[in-house]
A and B are shown apart, each in its own frame.
Chain A
């Protein structure tokens, strides 16, 4: 059922088929975070892959910079309804970070500096669908957008792309992360408008 709003006319004629339902295009880069932006200097940053509390891999900043990186051009969609097309990033594919990891886990809890968490199915992080990104638009990733490094998983709403990433924890159960505990969707597919629990 569609309720037409009296007097409202569409003024954005270029409806883009790359824009998921309920989203609008912006050229800016708005910020969504629950609290202040944590300050994590590069030389204090490190990143881990863990399984059942056990550290499988870890990289300091310099070690991470020595990994093979990719240039990435993707569309991003925030649950607060803005989308940006063709954003450019540089980072390391999660496939490479998890290569040869042997696990029965089906889910991942991404953890951030500052305490943020978000839950994801492991398969959504694989096959070239997710990266740990440390550059945006050819520059170091600014802190308010998740620098020094963030998860980038553009096929899900952007709250899944955890900023200030600290670890990926392989887990058996899909336990909700920060926003998911507060009523946001466990999966978060923008094309199915999975904004809130129950969508």
Chain B
């Protein structure tokens, strides 16, 4: 690990330098494996948060949301220090990826840390100056739980930048007109042409329950099942 950044009170981005990295696609993940002195091992998946920088010594970024009592996430967010070494395997997952040459507009729907692989897509689009329309809907508990918020606000303010909407489940900023709460059908079916005419490719990612709800709302809004790609992080 070459550097770490706090994203929120409970989420951190870890920068990992890997020898012989051959690049990856936005949306892919790595498996991280921890080994205790007695040989006990624990492995979990973490999405790559940014496109590969290229070069021989690739620097990868993952963003880990600390779960209360989470075996691997708590170790990575609390105990790992710059200079420590980790075992990684990847890049993995060839389905939940955005192909940069696909002209279809992209609708991104994230719950909590489910934003991580979608952020990789947003960053790839920005770095390569790709005009494909992007829209992100990110559901979080409170404004303080937004990862990458400054960067997203900056990108959204640029001409041709992605459209970004935050939905709050517990506490919303006072200016927010939406009553805080879980995802509702009209959060995804807001009457804009994003709903259907644009026939976007939809990427939905987050805790399992969130992904189930969001993809059902998208189906109910008329999106076709084969245009909805999902990644379930676990949990409820």
Contacts and interface: CB of A to CB of B under 8 A. Distances in A.
Interface of A: 2-12, 15, 21-22, 24, 28, 30-38, 80-82, 114-115, 144, 179, 182-183, 196
A2 B218 CA distance: 45
A37 B71 contact: no
A115 B229 CA distance: 13
A34 B95 contact: yes
Contact of A22 (B38, B41, B215): B41
Nearest to B208: A31
B127 interface: no
15 contacts: A4-B37, A5-B35, A5-B87, A7-B75, A12-B42, A22-B43, A24-B42, A35-B228, A36-B215, A37-B215, A80-B45, A82-B234, A114-B225, A182-B93, A196-B92
Contacts of B41: 21-22
B38 A144 contact: no
Nearest to A143: B212
Contacts of A31: 208, 211-212, 232
Given A24-B71, A36-B219, A82-B234, 8 more contacts: A6-B84, A10-B36, A30-B234, A31-B232, A33-B230, A34-B229, A35-B226, A37-B216
Contacts of B31: 81
Contacts of B196: none
Contact of A12 (B39, B40, B44, B75): B40
